[in-house]
Amino acid sequence: MTVTLQVYIDPMSGQPSEYTEAGLKPINLSNYVVPEEHRKYIRNRGWLFHEYVKLSREDSGYSLDATYLEASHLAECIPTWDEFKCRIPSDWIDEWTETKHNEFEAAMNWFGSKGYIVTWSY
């Protein structure tokens, strides 16, 4: 699982840009600096993250626009801890905790609010 940022390019200026209420403006990269607590979720491998993707993937392909991709918005598809913990094998109970689950959900919500894209491979 990898988190990336995709930006628009202004066809007139050629600059990386973002849409604002005033139209397309040069991007202010300081608005997209990932907070330290979310950085551990920028690139991940392992069965555990595939469990989250299974819940959101359906037929959306191998990426989700964390801002909006029809009904497949990853952050909106993350289950509650009580719904998810039954998917964790007994030998992983101490490895993936409710705290880590909540941190992952908070990170996906932050990435979603900024327009990041979550991609993965199977």
In the numeric block, the tokens 């555990």 are attached to: 48
Q: Would you state the pLDDT for residue 69?
A: 34
- pLDDT tens digits, 32-71: 999 999 999 998 888 887 777 665 555 555 555 554 333 2
pLDDT, the chain, mean? 81
The least confident of 2-11, 71-80, 86-95 is 71-80
Reported confidence tier of residue 121, pLDDT bands at 50, 70, 90? low
Does the reported pTM lie above 0.85?
A: no
Residue 31 φ then ψ, to 5°: -75, -10
CB 10 within 8 A of CB 17: yes
Q: What is the mean pLDDT of residues 78-82?
A: 89
Instruction: Please report the sign of the dihedral spanned by the C-alpha atoms of residue 45, residue 38, residue 80, residue 78.
Output: negative
Task: Please compute the mean of the pLDDT values over residues 104-118 and round it to a whole number.
Answer: 86
